[in-house]
Structure 1
Amino acid sequence: MKRFYWLLLILALVVGVASLVLFGLPLAEHKGYVLIAFQGFRYESSLWAFVALALALWLLVYLLRLSVRLLVTSGGLLNPWSRLHKRRRVRLASEQGFLDLAEGRWARALRHLKQAANDSPQPLSYYLGAAQAAHQLGHHSDSDDLLEQALNRQPQAELAIALQHAELQLARGQTADALDTLQAMRSRHPHHHLVLRQLQQLYLQAGDWSALLGLLPELRKEKALGNAELSELERQAWRGRLLQAAQTADGEAPAALLALQHAWQAMPTAQHQEPELLAIYAEQLRLLGAEAEAEALLRPYLKQHYDTALVRLYGLLRGSDLGKQLQTAEAWLKQHPQDAGLLLTLGRLCLHSQLWGKAKDYLETSLAFQRHPETCAELARLLAQLGELERSNSLYQEGLRLLDARLCTPALPVEN
C-alpha cells in the first residue's frame, strides 16, 4: 500500500512538471483577466492575482480551523470535567478497583469501582464488582443497593445481575431468597444453563432431593453438566431421596417403609442396578424391619453381580427361609473361597440358624484372611456363648484396637 502511494506521488510530480512545461510558458505570456461583478460589487484582476488571493483565503481558513481545534483540545486538557478527563478517571478507577478486588482489598475495591460505575456509560461490570466487595465486607444492604443501581442503569442486563444476586444470597445463607430469585429468572429464561446450574447447586446445598431430581432432565437436555457429572449427581440425588424417605412420618415405621418403597419404585430401572443405591435401600429396609424383603431383593442381584459390600450386608439379613439363604451364600464360596467378607456373612448366617460349630469355622477362616473388627466381635460373642471366655476377651480387645486404628484415634487402655 505504501508503494502504491509513492507511485501516485511520483506520477503527480511528473504530470505537474509536464504541465508546467507545456502550459507554463504560454500562460506566462498571457496574464489572463478575471472579472467578478454582482449587483454593486465589482472585482477585476489578473488570473495569477486571483489564484494567489484564493490560495491566501484557503490558507487563512485552514489556520482558523486549526486554531479552533487546538483551543478545544487544550480546553479539554485543562478542564477537569471534560470528557477526556472523565474517560481517564474511569479507566484508572476500574483498573485499580479490579486489582484491589482480586487481591482482597475490599474497602478500596468498593470505593474505586463505585467511582468507575458513576462515571461510566456502561457500568455493569463495575457495579457487580462493587457489590461483591460490599458483600465481602458484610455490608449486605449496600451490596443489594449496588445491584439495584446496576439494574436501573442497564435493565437489559437483568439476567447477569440476578445470577450475581442469587450467588451472593446463597453465600449469606439466604436460601429461600436465592430460590425466589432463580425461579423468577427460570420463568423468563427457562433454558439458560447458568440458571439451571445455580438451581442445581441450591437444591444440592438445601438437600431438596425431589426438586433436584425434577431438574435433572432439563440439565441433561441443555447439557449444562457433563455426562459423568450428571450421572454422579443423579446417584447422589437418589441416595439422598432414599435416606430422606426412610426418615419421614415422624419415626413411624409403617409410614416410613411405605415412603421408602414408593421412592424405590419411582427410581429409574437402570438405577436399581447401582450397587450403592441397592445397598442403601436394603439397609433402610433392614432398619425398618423388612429384612425378608431386603434379602429377596439382594439374592437375585448377587447371583448375577457379585459385590463384596452387598455380600457383607446380606449376612445381616434374616430372610424368610434361613436354610435357603445359607445355601445360596455357600454356593458363592466356590467361586470366592478367600473372600473374608463372604466368610463373615456365612458365619453370621450360621449363627442365625444356630449352627455354632459351622459358624465358628467360617469366622475363624475369615480372620485368617483378614483381621476385621466386625469378625472379631462376632467370633468373640460366639466364643463367650460357648464358654471360651479368655479367647473371647482377647478377640474383643483386638477388635477395639482394629477399630481405633480405623478411626485414627489413640487406643484406650483395656484391662485384661
Structure 2
Amino acid sequence: MKILLWLLTLFASAIGLAVLARFNPGNVVLFYPPYRLDLSLNFFIFLVLAAFLTIYVVIRAVRLTQKLPGRVIAYRRAKREHEGNAALRESLKAFFEGRFGQAERLATRASELPENAGISALIAARAAHRMRQGDRRDIWLATTEVDPTLKAARLMTALELQVDEHQFKQALETVEQLNANGTRHIQALQWSLKANQQAKNWPEVLRLVQTLDKRNALHPALSNRLREMAYDALLSDRVHDAESIRAFWSGIPGSDKFKPYIAVRAAQAFASRGLHDEARTLLERALAADWDIRLLRAYRDSTGEAGSAALLAQIEHCEAWLAKNPTDAELALTLGMFCLRQKLWGKAQRHLEQALSDAIEPRTVRESHLALAQLHEALDQPEQASAHYKQCALATAIR
C-alpha cells in the first residue's frame, strides 16, 4: 500500500510538471556583449537543476574519497574488535568447560585487542595455573600490572592462585596489598581466611571467622570447626604460663567459652599449668550451659585429690546432676569413679553397676568394668576383680 501511494504521488508530480511546462511561455535572456543567448524558461530551469545535481554528485564523490581511508580504518578496527570480543567469549567458554589449553590460546588472541588485554591476561593466567604452568601464569599476571583499573582483579586472582598452591607467605603479602587497596568484600575475606589458616596465624583466623559470621558468609559447621582448630592451637601453645593462659581465656567471647570442644581444651590447658580448680570450674559452667558427654569425660579426668574439698564438691555436683538425669550412664560412671577415689566403696559400687547396666557405648562399658575391677581389688575380692578385668579386655577387643 505504501509503495502504491508513492507511485501515485510520483505520477501526479510528473503530470503536473508536464502541464506546467507546456503552458509556460516565459523565456530567459543571457546577454554578454557582443553575445546574446535566448533560452526558454523551462530549459533554463532544467539546466539549473542539472548543474546543481552535477555539482552535488561531484562534491559527494570528493568527500567520500577523502573519507575512504578513515572508513577503511574504522572497518578494520570494528573487525578486529569483533574478532577480539568473540575470542574473549570463546576463551571464557573454554575455561568453564575445562579446556584450559584452548582457553589460554583464545585468550592470547583476545589480548591483541587493547581493551581486552587485561581481562584476557587474567583468564590466561587462571588457565595456565590449572595446567600447572607456573611460569606462564606469572608472566600473564605481570602483564596486568600496567593497568591500574585491574589492580583489585589482579590481586584477587593472585591471592586465589597462591592459596591454591599453599604459598601462604606470598598470599599474606597479597592480602596486605588488598587491605591497602581498600578491598574488603566477602570473597577477599574468605581467601584471606584460607591464607591465614595455611600460615597458622590463628588470632587472625578467629578475627576473620567472626567477621564472616556477621555477614552469614560461612557455613555454621565450617565456622565451628575453624574456631575449634584456632582455639586448640592457641590453647596448646607452650609459651603460655598460668597468668597468660588466664588472660587469654578472659579475652575469649562468652559464646565460645561454653562450646564443648573449646571448654575441654581449655580445661586441659589449665590443668597442665596446675590450675586444676579453675579447670573444674569452667567445666562445671560449660556443663550447666550445654550438657555434653565430652565435657563430662573431661570433668571425670579432672578429679581432685582423695579427701580434698574439691573432690567432695565434685561428688555433690554429680549427685545433683544424677537426680535430674538418673539414666545417664556416663554421669553414673563419673560419680562412681569419684566415690571410688574417695573410698566410698558402697556408693562407688552402686553407681558403677548402674553405669554398666545403662551403658551403650563400648568405651563406657570398658571403663565401668575397669573401675569395678579396681574396686574389688581394693576390697580384696580377687575373683570378682578378675571377672571384671576379663570383661574389660573383651570389651577392648570388640571395639
Q: Tell me the TM-score range normalised by the shorter chain.
A: 0.7 to 0.9
Match of 1:282 in 2: 267
CA contact (8 A) 1:330 1:346 kept: yes
Partners of 1:226 and 1:35 in 2: how far apart?
Answer: 95
SS in 2 for 1:189: coil
Partners of 2:206 and 2:179 in 1: how far apart?
Answer: 16
Match of 2:48 in 1: 50
Partners of 1:89 and 1:304 in 2: how far apart?
Answer: 66
Of 79, 104, 127, the residue aligned with 1:110 is 104
Q: How far apart are residue 180 of structure 1 and its match?
A: 0.6
Match of 1:363 in 2: 352
CA contact (8 A) 1:209 1:237 kept: no
SS in 2 for 1:25: helix
Q: How far apart are residue 322 of structure 1 and its match?
A: 1.3
SS in 1 for 2:111: helix
Matched, 1:180 2:173: yes
Partners of 2:361 and 2:211 in 1: how far apart?
Answer: 45
Which is further off, 286-295 or 172-181? Answer: 286-295
Go from structure 1 to structure 2 and tell me whether the alpha carbon gap of 1:237 and 1:245 turns closer, same or farther (over 3 Å shift): same
Go from structure 1 to structure 2 and tell me whether the alpha carbon gap of 1:143 and 1:71 turns closer, same or farther (over 3 Å shift): closer
CA contact (8 A) 1:235 1:277 kept: no
Amino acid corresponding to residue 337 of structure 1 in structure 2? P
% identical aligned pairs? 24
Q: Cα deviations across residues 211-242 of structure 1 (Å, max 9, x unaligned)?
A: 1234456556xx6x317x38667655553343
Partners of 1:184 and 1:390 in 2: how far apart?
Answer: 68
Which is further off, 196-205 or 138-147? Answer: 196-205
Go from structure 1 to structure 2 and tell me whether the alpha carbon gap of 1:37 and 1:276 turns closer, same or farther (over 3 Å shift): farther
Match of 2:302 in 1: 317
CA contact (8 A) 1:207 1:240 kept: no
Match of 1:299 in 2: 284
Partners of 1:398 and 1:287 in 2: how far apart?
Answer: 33
Matched, 1:245 2:234: yes
Output the TM-score relative to the length of structure 1.
0.76
Match of 2:379 in 1: none
Of 326, 330, 336, the residue aligned with 2:315 is 326
Of 380, 389, 395, the residue aligned with 1:399 is 395
Partners of 2:320 and 2:58 in 1: how far apart?
Answer: 112
Amino acid corresponding to residue 109 of structure 1 in structure 2? A
CA contact (8 A) 1:34 1:50 kept: no
Go from structure 1 to structure 2 and tell me whether the alpha carbon gap of 1:274 and 1:54 turns closer, same or farther (over 3 Å shift): same
Match of 1:407 in 2: none
Match of 1:381 in 2: 370
Q: Cα deviations across residues 232-260 of structure 1 (Å, max 9, x unaligned)?
A: 6765555334322333236xxxx444443
After superposition, residues 2-401 of structure 1 pair within 5 angstroms as 25-30=19-24, 46-55=44-53, 58=56, 82-83=76-77, 85-152=79-146, 154-189=147-182, 191-215=184-208, 219=212, 225-226=215-216, 229=218, 235-236=224-225, 238-249=227-238, 255-303=240-288, 305-319=290-304, 320-385=309-374, 386=376, 387=382, 388-401=384-397
Amino acid corresponding to residue 54 of structure 1 in structure 2? F
Q: How far apart are residue 182 of structure 1 and its match?
A: 1.6
Go from structure 1 to structure 2 and tell me whether the alpha carbon gap of 1:32 and 1:260 turns closer, same or farther (over 3 Å shift): farther
CA contact (8 A) 1:163 1:195 kept: yes
Q: Cα deviations across residues 5-58 of structure 1 (Å, max 9, x unaligned)?
A: x69x95x888777777777634432265578999xxx99751133224434554
Cα RMSD over matched residues? 3.9
CA contact (8 A) 1:292 1:318 kept: no
* 5+ residue gaps, structure 2: 377-381
Output the TM-score relative to the length of structure 2.
0.78
Match of 1:411 in 2: none
CA contact (8 A) 1:383 1:389 kept: yes
CA contact (8 A) 2:332 2:355 kept: yes
CA contact (8 A) 1:316 1:348 kept: no
Partners of 2:27 and 2:69 in 1: how far apart?
Answer: 41
Q: How far apart are residue 171 of structure 1 and its match?
A: 1.4
CA contact (8 A) 2:339 2:347 kept: yes
Q: Cα deviations across residues 112-136 of structure 1 (Å, max 9, x unaligned)?
A: 2112212352223211111012112
Go from structure 1 to structure 2 and tell me whether the alpha carbon gap of 1:242 and 1:256 turns closer, same or farther (over 3 Å shift): farther
SS in 2 for 1:173: coil
Amino acid corresponding to residue 392 of structure 2 in structure 1? Y
Partners of 1:234 and 1:261 in 2: how far apart?
Answer: 24
Q: Cα deviations across residues 322-358 of structure 1 (Å, max 9, x unaligned)?
A: 1221122111112211112211211221222123443
Q: Cα deviations across residues 133-163 of structure 1 (Å, max 9, x unaligned)?
A: 21122221221111111232x3211100111
CA contact (8 A) 1:344 1:366 kept: yes
Q: Cα deviations across residues 280-305 of structure 1 (Å, max 9, x unaligned)?
A: 32233334443322212233453465
Partners of 1:175 and 1:145 in 2: how far apart?
Answer: 20
Amino acid corresponding to residue 150 of structure 1 in structure 2? T
* 5+ residue gaps, structure 1: 404-416
Which is further off, 321-330 or 64-73? Answer: 64-73
CA contact (8 A) 1:315 1:345 kept: yes
